[in-house]
Amino acid sequence: MIDQYRRNIDYVRISVTDRCNLRCIYCMPEEGVAWTPHHEILTYDEIYQISEIFAELGISKIKITGGEPLVRKNISHLISSLKKIHGIENVTLTTNGLLLGEQITSLAQAGIDGINISLDTLNDDIYKEITRYRGVMKVCDSLMAAKEFKNIKIKVNCVPIKGMNDEEITQLASLAKNNAICVRFIEMMPIGLGKQFKAYGETELVAVLEEKLGGLIPYAVKQGNGPARYYDIPGFIGKIGFISALSHQFCSGCNRIRLSSTGFLKTCLQYEQGTELKSLLRDGLDKNLLKETISQAIYGKPLQHSFGRPELCTSTSKKMFEIGG
């Protein structure tokens, strides 16, 4: 579907839960939060119904997110059903990897096209400092298990944090040397707890990597659904990517919307406004009304975010686990 600024919106990120088995310092307080009651979360059938309408409006790519999506039971059944929707060409999932090893076979059988694994460090002490849990080896084992499924595109997502995992940027990038995976570095978003940390910009990261690993060569072939910029490093099998929403703003080419686990449709990560869809589903489904509501929301997608310029707007008060990562 084309929005008011002539962008083709063909990608939706659907959160299936706000629950998570980690307590990452830039996402959630150590004591945890009050989870959304199950009856407030969209059922798989409701997600399927909305996704059918998304597909009719031109959405062809779905990313399943959380929280941590693998904590929700039978997630592979949802993925299998979404893959059967006419017009949906690509269904992927993002995960912290802790439960991936035990679910990768069922996900592969469901037809998952790609899996993004969040991994900010290869050092278990630093992993515990960031996530408040010791589990880096389990995540690495999951990564190795997942990459054996050749039809599934594997990406590793790292959020570099100044003063915390600085020394591991090169190590993480080196995961792509002997493996056919993409390692992407994502700028910390100034949302929720993330506001208190200092982020690396893309230019800084490129300088670090080129000093240690050699020149980065721009790679023009698209590797996924979103806005990442990819590079080759001579001698590497995989690619290095950067998702730099702040230092290299990509709003002019943004193709995504987000659906929260409670049925709230957000067309821009930053802003409070959005469209509540759950009540339209549960108050007696009028498919035409739901389709028109979604269509209007997508058409009205904002031109761009204004992170770093708080005088221009009020940013969302929700945390990333509530919005959907």
Read off the CATH number of the domain in which 115 is found.
Answer: 3.20.20.70
Residue 269 three-state SS: coil
* DSSP-assigned letter for residue 280: H
**How many domains, the chain?**
1
**Which pair of structure tokens corresponds to residue 26?**
């830039």
Whole-angstrom distance, CA of residue 321 vs CA of residue 325:
6
Note whether residue 234 is domain-resident. Answer: yes
Note whether residue 247 is domain-resident. Answer: yes
Whole-angstrom distance, CA of residue 245 vs CA of residue 270:
11
Is the pTM of the predicted complex or chain greater than 0.85? Answer: yes
User: For residue range 91-135, what is the model confidence (pLDDT) as tens digits?
Assistant: 999 999 999 999 999 999 999 999 999 999 999 999 999 999 999
Residue 27 pLDDT: 86
> What is the layout of strands, in order, in the sheet containing 229-232?
217-219, 229-232, 239-243, 182-186, 153-158, 114-118, 90-95, 61-65, 11-15, 256-259, 264-266, 275-276
Strands 11-15 and 256-259, bridge-based pairing: parallel
- At 155, phi and psi to the nearest 5? -125, 145
Note whether residue 89 is domain-resident. Answer: yes
For residue 30, the enclosing domain spans 11-323
Note whether residue 1 is domain-resident. Answer: no
User: For residue range 4-30, what is the model confidence (pLDDT) as tens digits?
Assistant: 999 999 999 999 999 999 999 988 888
* Lowest-confidence segment of 125-129, 136-140, 245-249, 319-323 by average pLDDT: 319-323
Note whether residue 270 is domain-resident. Answer: yes
Residue-averaged pLDDT of the chain: 89
Note whether residue 64 is domain-resident. Answer: yes
Note whether residue 3 is domain-resident. Answer: no
Note whether residue 6 is domain-resident. Answer: no
Whole-angstrom distance, CA of residue 76 vs CA of residue 115:
13
Alpha helices in 40-113 (DSSP H): 44-56, 75-83, 100-110
